[in-house]
Structure 1
Amino acid sequence: MSNYMENSSYKPKYPVQTLGKALDVLLYIKNNASADGVSIAELSEYLNMGKSTVHRLLDTLLAYNFVEKTYSTSSYKLGWGIYDIGSSVPFQHSLNNTNFYPLLEELCNECSETVNFGIVNNNSIVILYKAEPNIKIRANVNIGGNEPLYCTAIGKLFLSTFSVQEVKDYFNHVEVVNYTNNTITTAEKMFPELSKITKNGYSIDNEEFYVGLICVAIPVYDYSGNLVAGISVSGPSERMVQNKIDAVLPKLKSTCEKLSMYLGYR
């Protein structure tokens, strides 16, 4: 069973066979090794490689500390060199990196509405980036400003991950402002809304922060499966009618999935 690639639809145009075999070895050890490691015989059988080939590959990987040998059993397990490489992945694929901003611009062009990218900080939403369409009437969202969780689409995504007690504590400790007639101002009224968000996978700010502004948001997850950000599409209520929201949601979902994958979520 050679070519042990996983979680990848990409096929190299000019594959290096020896490198591919070495990576097959690493992936097999990662997925199958016990605490005692994997033997050369096992690798040879399951990866359909000769024992001498497996031995040479392991010897090279050993030199780079990508595997380590258990001398009492002559078996192999992953080495700390692999961990050292892997530990730099979250840093290079972090929310501080601006490489994914073109995704937001692309979504903005597809929807012809403002696209916002926000994270949570001290029980508030901070918009890190926004992409604006080239139209006269559009949502006016401030980058870097703090927005409440309870009346914004991205904020309610984060609230939906809170426990019942955490939601109650949140409403007891923040200054709740009734921004519009649609603002949800109590935990009891928020619970049905959060259940709907969990069920649907998206949240809507129905003129709850600003009169005349409607936002729809979908979560972004990182490699550990944690909700780390949200992307919203916002626009004037006369444009963001149900048909428009229904058209926006698949595009928004696709963008959030791409960004989540960029952050390592599978």
Structure 2
Amino acid sequence: MQSVPTLKSDPVEVNGDTPTMRLFALLEVIASKDQFFSLQGLTEETRIPKPTLHRMLQQLESAGLLERSVDGRFYGTGVRLRKLAENLLLNDISHGARHAVLRHLVAEVGESCNLTALSGSEVVYLDRVETAAPLRFYLHPGSRVPVHCSASGKVFLSEMTPSQRQRLLAHAPLEAYTAKTLTHIDQLEQEIRQIKRQGFALDNEEFLPGLLCVATLVPSASGRSNLCVAVQAPIMRLTADKALHLLPALQRAAEALSRIETDAAPTTQASA
């Protein structure tokens, strides 16, 4: 994996009253990246002296917050930092309000619904409300599903650029979970183009036999979103055609969830 050259621009400020807060500010810069980065590239971006920055990166790496590529030339987010991000999403203060939206959606469509986020090359379930129907697939919050054969995962992939998808899928082989799993990158790219046009994705028995799922993105006022809402049911109750009729309810839930995320976002106060 190679880093993309940094365009010359104003330096990113890494401020803090203490060394700990400066490390935290540096993590904020790193967390905004969707690719590995080099020491030289980050030095040019932040204008922090290279010896100082190298020492800071070593501290973060030793804490498990960063990790290096195989050749040692590039850095990326570490397992500990990704786990922290997942726990923040799973235990977000907006959980109660989001859960209420899912409960309302389940009552409206009659099937299990979930809220998901992208975590590395997998989709993690942040919240889920089950249908009362006795026949159902149970996937609890914290469950993980592959990005290439889940409805939410394909929506997340459609939000990326081709190069971003290439980097992600290079480390996530297109494993065949069922006879319907898309295992060739050309097939997946063709479907992703359709998802971008239509605004939703289907998982028609691509991950589990007998399971159909339809998902759509939760809009974000700040730009790219990392939240999807989905309806999931056995194919004996939910066919691909029927799933299309559930889209308006799913999209209303996505808008309601988007408002919750917007209202929960901190406001920035101008300095005096």
TM bucket (normalised to shorter chain) is 0.5 to 0.7
Structure 1 stretches of 4+ moved >3 Å: none
Question: Aligned partners of 1:131 and 1:257: how far apart in 2?
Answer: 18
Question: Aligned partners of 1:212 and 1:155: how far apart in 2?
Answer: 18
% identical equivalent positions: 28
Residue number among 92, 96, 112 corresponding to 2:110 in the alignment: 112
Deviations 1:80-133 (A, max 9, x none): xxxxxxxxxxx9xx9542122111001011111110111111221110111111
Letter paired with 1:200: Q
- Given that 1:222 and 1:264 are in contact with CA atoms closer than 8 Å, whether structure 2 keeps it comes out as yes
- Given that 2:127 and 2:141 are in contact with CA atoms closer than 8 Å, whether structure 1 keeps it comes out as yes
Distance 1:97 1:248, change over 3 A: same
- Given that 1:219 and 1:230 are in contact with CA atoms closer than 8 Å, whether structure 2 keeps it comes out as yes
- Given that 1:221 and 1:263 are in contact with CA atoms closer than 8 Å, whether structure 2 keeps it comes out as no
- Given that 1:171 and 1:186 are in contact with CA atoms closer than 8 Å, whether structure 2 keeps it comes out as no
**Aligned-partner SS, 1:183:** coil
Deviations 1:225-246 (A, max 9, x none): 2212001100011111244212
Deviations 1:167-193 (A, max 9, x none): 223222113320011111222111111
In the alignment, what sits opposite 2:152?
154
Distance 1:263 1:189, change over 3 A: same
Deviations 1:52-84 (A, max 9, x none): xxxxxxxxxxxxxxxxxxxxxxxxxxxxxxxxx
**Aligned-partner SS, 1:101:** helix
Letter paired with 1:176: L
Q: Cα distance, 1:262 vs. partner?
A: 2.1
Deviations 1:10-64 (A, max 9, x none): xxxxxxxxxxxxxxxxxxxxxxxxxxxxxxxxxxxxxxxxxxxxxxxxxxxxxxx
- Given that 1:157 and 1:203 are in contact with CA atoms closer than 8 Å, whether structure 2 keeps it comes out as yes
Question: Aligned partners of 2:132 and 2:139: how far apart in 1?
Answer: 15
Q: Cα distance, 1:224 vs. partner?
A: 0.2
Cα RMSD for the two superposed structures: 1.9
Question: Aligned partners of 1:233 and 1:95: how far apart in 2?
Answer: 22
In the alignment, what sits opposite 1:130?
128
In the alignment, what sits opposite 2:94?
97
- Given that 1:125 and 1:149 are in contact with CA atoms closer than 8 Å, whether structure 2 keeps it comes out as yes
In the alignment, what sits opposite 2:206?
208
In the alignment, what sits opposite 1:42?
none
Letter paired with 1:143: P
Distance 1:242 1:179, change over 3 A: closer
Question: Aligned partners of 1:201 and 1:110: how far apart in 2?
Answer: 21
**Aligned-partner SS, 1:227:** coil
**Aligned-partner SS, 1:173:** coil
Question: Aligned partners of 1:137 and 1:242: how far apart in 2?
Answer: 18
Residue number among 211, 229, 232 corresponding to 1:231 in the alignment: 229
In the alignment, what sits opposite 1:62?
none
Question: Aligned partners of 1:177 and 1:123: how far apart in 2?
Answer: 12
- Given that 1:168 and 1:187 are in contact with CA atoms closer than 8 Å, whether structure 2 keeps it comes out as no
Letter paired with 2:231: V
Question: Aligned partners of 2:262 and 2:183: how far apart in 1?
Answer: 35
Letter paired with 2:248: P
In the alignment, what sits opposite 1:177?
175
Q: Which runs of 5+ in 2 are unaligned?
A: 1-87, 264-272
Larger Rg: 1
- Given that 1:107 and 1:115 are in contact with CA atoms closer than 8 Å, whether structure 2 keeps it comes out as yes
- Given that 2:127 and 2:140 are in contact with CA atoms closer than 8 Å, whether structure 1 keeps it comes out as no
Count of residues in correspondence between the two structures? 173
Question: Aligned partners of 1:238 and 1:168: how far apart in 2?
Answer: 35
- Relative to the length of structure 1, the TM-score reads 0.61
Letter paired with 2:111: E
Q: Which runs of 5+ in 1 are unaligned?
A: 1-90
Deviations 1:203-241 (A, max 9, x none): 100110000000000101233022120011000111112
